[in-house]
Each structure stands twice: as structure tokens, then as C-alpha cells.
Amino acid sequence: MNALSDAILDASVGWSVLAAFSVLWIFLGWFWGRRAEALDDYVLAGRRVGLALGTATAMATWVTSNTTMAAPQLALQMGIWGMLGYSLGAVGLLMFAPLAGRIRRLMPSGYTSGDFVRLRYGNTAWRIFLVISLCYSLGWLVSMGMAGGVLINALTGIPYHYGMTVILTICVGYTLLGGFRAVIGTDFIQAILILVGLAFIAVLAIRTVGIETIHSGLLTERPELLSLLLPAGIMFLFNNLLFGIGEIFHSNVWWSRAFAFRPGVGGRAYTFAGLLWAPIPIVAGFVALAVPALDLNVPAADMVGPMVAATILGTTGAVLVLVMVFSALSSSIDSLLAATSILVVEDIYRRHLKPGAGAAHLRRVTSCVIVGLGVLTWALCAPRITTLAELLYFTGAFVASTIWPIAAGLFVRRAGSVGAITGMVLGSAAGILSYFTIGFYVAALVGAAVSMACVLVAMWLAPGKFNWKDLREQELAQGATA
């Protein structure tokens, strides 16, 4: 067995690549954000985003470090179903397409998913939702900050804490300078880099090792990974499907895009993003399945992706891997910083602490919250506490419990606060219980099922009669100050 104990890239090369892209992202952040003085310009890019940037930002944001690191890890643990199951994350984007159009129509002046839950279900459901959404956002941010440190360390030998600090600092920097315009502008470039890099790695893997050799290597050493009846894999497939839907339906990362897109763009952008995203985990997972054929020793499961890529590609190719993964990390971290900051500012600061705050004041507070979120994420990433996939799937129960309250709330008048509250609370509790008693791969499944039962039973026993016009709040005066 070949143990890959040393980093494939020299640390100085790694630092050079990081420095070059850091300068580029910061410059673009400043350039695109230099005129974003108004709140709507800063947090929602003026609500005029077109199809190209809309598709790219939805796709790039959904290509996380988990796609590039956890998808290969899951392929190696769950085989063909791990790859396909991860790929079903695209269903969340596809299913959100009609919701995005409806959100834009119902709430033309909305800012956050919290706005919707507050207006639709009242304060109790809203506060429960905020706890779920903020915990999830922070979990996602931490999982990606950790992934940055792990990956940069695996590829370049740069210590974990340095790599993690660099990626977080750069993302905070350009998001702070350019706001949402910088986020979606860089997302476009990052989407291109990710796709080209992944295609390059996969083509070289096929040319170097060969699909047939990879298949026969698996058949000899890990035949269970090619099994079409691997029970945990099939369970994972459905679990991931629901997890993906839950993540997208509730998270302000996706709602803020729905608010930011031009009227009529949201549905098409999310549909294209889903179709273009779906093959990415399959291709990334395929690369990991080369482990038996390459006779590699994998010391840590979450390092399998970069290890295989580095073994196949050598030094020059490893630079490409670093660029691709840096892009994947940046495109998600910047989106989370932007979307979570406006969630904190709108739903906590404005609605709980300073109801009279004007747009200009909220614009300044948003900048402070972006920096604060970056610092908090760094502090939580500093002790590397769990593997990436475990951290990611712990939140599955919570987010899956929001699917039915959100979907029913957008389309069904009869859906009321009782169903939403019990759905989120009981769904989360049941999902967490199953996480610890059965496994991570059923948490979202159970959470969504219990939540669905609660919402449907409540609609039947205590039907509401919501007036859709109640979702239209008065627009903030953009020039006003507190």
C-alpha cells in the first residue's frame, strides 16, 4: 500500500496560489461593491440579477467543500448509492424553482426567509425557525472553514489553522467590501473554475487509471461499493434527498437569491442550476472510487478526494485541485456570510432590538455582522472536533423538519401555525433521536416524515385561512437613517 504522508504541493506554491486568488477576489469585491451604498444594493444586488449570474450563483453555492470532499468520502463508504444519493441534492434546487418564483411575487420587498415565517405563522414559529436556521448556517460555515484548513493542509502542507484563517479572512474581506454583488459576481467565476477543474481531474483519472480498471479494482477489493442493494446506501439516498430539500427550502442563502433575482428569473435559474449541479457529486465520487485500483492507503476518510486527485495528477494538477477547492469553499462561505448576516440584521437586530432602524443604519450594521460571523466561525473551527460529513449530517434532522411548514406555507392557505410549530419541534426531536439511535443517514428522513405528519394533521384538525396579501410588508425607505 502507498501511504501518501507528505503534501503533494510545496507550501510556497500553496501560499502563492492562495495569495493570487485572494488578491483577485478582494479586488473584484471592492470593484463590484464600490457603489453599493443602499441596503438593497448591498444585501440583494439591487434585486436585478439576471439568468447567467443567477444560475451560476445557485450552482456554485451548492457546490460546497462537502461536494468536493464529503462526496468522495461517501462514495468510498457507500459506493454507487453514495454518489447518486449525493447527486440527488440537486432535487432541492429543482424543487425550489417554483418556490423562488412565488416568493418573488408574494414578497417583492422581502429580505429573509425569517420574514416569511414571521408573517405567515406568527412570532413563536418564527423564533423556532430562526434557531434552526441560524444553527444550520453556523454549522455549514464551520464545516466549510474546517474543510478549508483540512484541504489546504492535505494539498500544500500549510498548517490547518493557517489555511482555515486565510480562507475565512478572504471571504469576509470581499463580502464586506462588495456585499451580495461581490458574492454573485465571484460565484460566476468560481463556478467556471470548479467545473473546468473537476472535468480535468476526471478526464485524467479515466486516462490514467481507466473506468474498467476502477470497476475491476472495486469488484476485487470492495465489491459492496458496487452493490445496487447496499441497504445503508439506499437509506442514505432518500435521506440525502430530503436533507437537500430541507437545506434549500428553509435557508436564507436560497431565499435571498429568490429576492435578488429579476422577476421571472428565479424559476429558470434554479432549474438550470439543479440540472448542472446533479452530475458534479457523481464525477467527484467517481474519482474517489479509484482508491482500490491505485492501492492507496487513506488515513482519514475526509481526505480521500484530494489524496486521489493528487496521486493521479501530480504537482501541476494539484495546483488545479487547490484552485478548484478554494473556489468551492469561497463560493459557499461568501454566500453564507451574506445571507446569514442579513438574517441576523433583519430578524434579530431590526425585529427584536431596533424596530425603528432605517436602511442606511441597517447597511452599516450588516457590515459589522459579516465581520462578527467571520470571527465566530474562526473560533468554532479552531478546535477540529469531528469529521466533515458527521457535522454536516447532524443538522439534517433540523432542516428537514422545515420542509413541510415552508412548502405548505407558500402554497396552501389552510396551513397554520400549530402545524408549523409542532412540525419543526417534533420533527427535529425525532430526527435527532434517530441520528443517535440508528445513524446519520436516517436523521433527515425521520425529521421530514414526523414534520409532514404534524403539518397535515394540523391542517385537517385546525385549518387556517391565510390571506396572501399579508405577506406584503411596506418597503424600507432606502435612504432613511435610524
Partner 1 sequence: MTIPIDLFAAVILVALAIVIAAPLILLAFWIADVKRGVLW
Site of interaction with partner 1 (CB under 8 A): 45-46, 48-53, 55-56, 59, 80, 84, 87, 181, 184, 188, 191-192, 195-196, 198-199, 202-203, 206, 211-212, 215-216, 219, 223, 226-229, 262, 272, 275-276, 278-280, 282-283, 286
- Tell me the Cα Rg of the chain: 22
CB 426, min distance to partner 1, A: 37
CB 183, min distance to partner 1, A: 12
Kindly give the pairing relationship between strand 2-3 and strand 296-297: parallel
Q: HSE-up of 214 (CA within 13 Å, CB side)?
A: 23
CB 70, min distance to partner 1, A: 17
CB 93, min distance to partner 1, A: 14
CB 402, min distance to partner 1, A: 29
Q: Residue 314 phi/psi, 5° resolution?
A: 75, -165
> What is the signed CA dihedral for 148, 149, 150, 151, rounded to 10 degrees?
50
Which CB, 32 or 440, lies closer to partner 1?
32
Backbone CA torsion sign across 193, 195, 196, 198: positive
Which CB, 217 or 447, lies closer to partner 1?
217
Q: Residue 49 phi/psi, 5° resolution?
A: -75, 135
Which CB, 100 or 276, lies closer to partner 1?
276
CB 328, min distance to partner 1, A: 13
Which CB, 46 or 122, lies closer to partner 1?
46
Nearest C-alpha neighbor of 323 from the set 13, 21, 47: 21
Nearest C-alpha neighbor of 187 from the set 330, 342, 14, 383: 330
CA distance 312 to 205: 6
CA distance 161 to 153: 9
Contacts of 438 (CB under 8 A, 6+ apart): none
CB 67, min distance to partner 1, A: 12
Which CB, 51 or 412, lies closer to partner 1?
51
Which CB, 63 or 391, lies closer to partner 1?
63
Which CB, 20 or 199, lies closer to partner 1?
199
